Amino acid sequence: MNRREFSLSTASVLAISALGLPLATPALAQAPRQFKEGKDYVRLSKPVPSDPGAGKVEVIEFFWYSCSHCNAFEPTFDAWAKGAPKNLVIRRIPVAFNASFAPQQKLYYTLEGMGKLPELHAKVFRAVHVEKLPLNKDELIFEWIGKQGVDVAKFKEVYNSFTVSNQVRKATQLQNDYQVEGVPSMGVAGRYYTDGTMAGNMDNVLRVVEQLAAQAPKS
| pLDDT tens per residue, range 96-110 | 999 999 999 999 999
pLDDT, mean of residues 126-151: 98
Question: For residue 43, is pLDDT > 70?
Answer: yes
Q: Which CATH number applies to 56-215?
A: 3.40.30.10
Question: For residue 9, is pLDDT > 80?
Answer: no
Query: Per residue in 160-204, pLDDT tens?
Result: 999 999 999 999 999 999 999 999 999 999 999 999 999 999 999
The pairing of beta strand 185-188 with beta strand 192-195: antiparallel
Rounded to the nearest 5 degrees, what angle is found at the Cα of 70, between the Cα atoms of 47 and 82? 75
pLDDT, mean of residues 43-72: 95
Residue 122 neighbours by CB distance under 10 Å: 14
The CA distances from residue 151 to 25, 92, 114, 121, 137, in Å, are 39, 24, 10, 17, 18
Are the CB atoms for 211 and 53 separated by under 8 Å?
no
At 51, is the pLDDT very low, low, confident or very high (cuts 50, 70, 90)? Answer: confident
Query: Per residue in 202-219, pLDDT tens?
Result: 999 999 999 999 988 766
Alpha helices in the chain (DSSP H): 10-13, 68-82, 102-113, 117-129, 138-147, 152-159, 162-177, 196-199, 202-215
Mean predicted lDDT score pLDDT of the chain: 89
The pLDDT value given to residue 161: 98
The pLDDT value given to residue 28: 52
Question: For residue 139, is pLDDT > 80?
Answer: yes
The pLDDT value given to residue 217: 74
Please say whether the dihedral angle defined by the alpha carbons of residues 145, 175, 63 and 16, taken in this order, is positive or negative: positive
CA of residue 6 relative to chain centroid, distance: 18
The pLDDT value given to residue 97: 96
Question: For residue 5, is pLDDT > 80?
Answer: no
Whole-prediction pTM? 0.86
CA of residue 187 relative to chain centroid, distance: 10
User: Minimal CA–CA distance to 6: which of 102, 105, 98?
Assistant: 98
Give the separation between CA 30 and CA 118, rounded to whole angstroms: 30
Are the CB atoms for 184 and 62 separated by under 8 Å?
yes
The pLDDT value given to residue 13: 39
The CA distances from residue 104 to 42, 141, 146, 185, in Å, are 28, 8, 16, 17
Residue 157 neighbours by CB distance under 10 Å: 13
The pLDDT value given to residue 12: 40
pLDDT, mean of residues 63-81: 98
The pLDDT value given to residue 55: 87
Kindly list the strands in the beta sheet with 192-195, ordered across the sheet, starting from the edge strand earlier in the chain: 42-43, 192-195, 185-188, 57-63, 88-94
